[in-house]
Amino acid sequence: MVSTGFWPPVLTRSPAMPPLKLKQIPRILFVAAAVMVAGAAASMALKPTRMTADDRPPLRVEALLPSSFGDWQTDQHTAVVTPDPTLSAKLDALYSETFNRTYVNSKGQRIMLSIAYGRNQNSQSTAAHRPEFCYVAQGFNIKHEGFSTLNLPGHQPLKVARLLADLDNRIEPITYWVTLDDKAIMPGVERKLTQLQYGLRGLIADGMLVRVSSLVNSRQQLDYSLHDQFLADMEAAIPGGFKSRFFGS
């Protein structure tokens, strides 16, 4: 810019900037660009597309669980806690089948069974049926009572979560776990890592949430042994080729 004594000053062009040579671009930019392109290509290549359910016999929970087995038979008088209509509509969209049934034994002891099965377990949205969410949405208080291990013939030790739900005079001990394909696992980090393992193989695992609960008169009567007995009887009643889909391999 050159001043001539007039306003505005006269603008003069500076010498043209020499073109930027390719070799003058920092090497790290090339590396970063290459990593981004490679990452995009890898994410496309590794995107899961094949459902494990397509390689197995179709799973219909209601058809696989008899109305009676062992010392248990279906009871029509005790309702299972189910989600409110809004959440139920969401679950119907997420899961292939939801199953709820109450069983009673010869001693009058009742077990409420709830199963949510989905062919596509590649999303965290399918965690919506977990008791921690489902019961709280109904107004229950939920307390985590820890974990236990069930030893069932022909299966790896089955780790289950124990909860206690209460609302007014209703006190309900709960046992549950989730599966992916034929692996019984805990929700949270373990489930996410297992999803990732399947995803890296290009697979979308099916799976289910299995929940059993009972009613007690007080917290002093809290005992999960009835759940364990029911689950052992239930495992024995399921056809052999489907047992691992419920209880893990």
How many Cβ atoms are within 10 Å of 177's Cβ, its own excluded? 22
Candidates 212, 24, 241, 25; CA nearest to 114 is 212
Residues 6+ apart with CB under 8 A from 56: 245
Number of domains in the chain: 1
Q: Name the burial class of residue 229, with classes exposed (0-12), middle (13-18) and buried (19+) by CB atoms within 10 angstroms of its CB.
A: middle
Please report whether residue 42 resides in a domain: no
DSSP, collapsed to helix, strand or coil, labels residue 201 as: coil
pLDDT bucket at 126, cuts 50 / 70 / 90: low
Which residue is listed with tokens 């691992």? 244
Please report whether residue 143 resides in a domain: yes
Please report whether residue 1 resides in a domain: no
The range of the structural domain enclosing residue 67 comes to 50-247
Q: pTM of the entire structure? A: 0.77
Helical (H) or strand (E) element with 234: helix 225-237
Give backbone dihedrals phi and psi of 188, rounded to 5 degrees, phi first: 95, -140
Which residue is listed with tokens 């001693």? 107
Please report whether residue 215 resides in a domain: yes
Residue pLDDT, tens place only, 184-234: 999 888 998 999 999 999 999 999 999 999 999 998 888 899 999 999 999
Residue pLDDT, tens place only, 99-113: 999 999 999 999 999
Residue pLDDT, tens place only, 38-85: 444 444 446 788 999 999 999 999 999 999 999 999 998 877 776 666
Please report whether residue 179 resides in a domain: yes
Helical (H) or strand (E) element with 190: helix 189-200
pLDDT score recorded for residue 49: 84
Kindly write down the DSSP assignment for every residue of 81-105, as one continuous string: P---HHHHHHHHHH-SEEEEEEEE-
Please report whether residue 7 resides in a domain: no
- Provide Rg for the chain, Cα atoms: 29
What is the phi-psi region of residue 33: left when phi exceeds 0, alpha when psi lies from -120 to 50, beta otherwise? alpha
Q: How far is CA 148 from CA 129, 154, 161, 199, 228, in A?
A: 21, 18, 7, 29, 10
Please report whether residue 234 resides in a domain: yes
Amino acid symbol at 81: V
Give backbone dihedrals phi and psi of 36, rounded to 5 degrees, phi first: -65, -45
pLDDT score recorded for residue 85: 61
Distance CA 113, CA 56 (A): 24
pLDDT score recorded for residue 170: 94
Q: Taking a C-beta distance cutoff of 8 angstroms, is the pair 212, 111 a contact?
A: yes
Angle at CA of residue 213, ends 211 and 217, nearest 5°:
165
Tokens (6 digits) for 192? 């996410």
Please report whether residue 226 resides in a domain: yes
Distance CA 51, CA 54 (A): 6
Q: Is the pLDDT of residue 9 over 60?
A: no
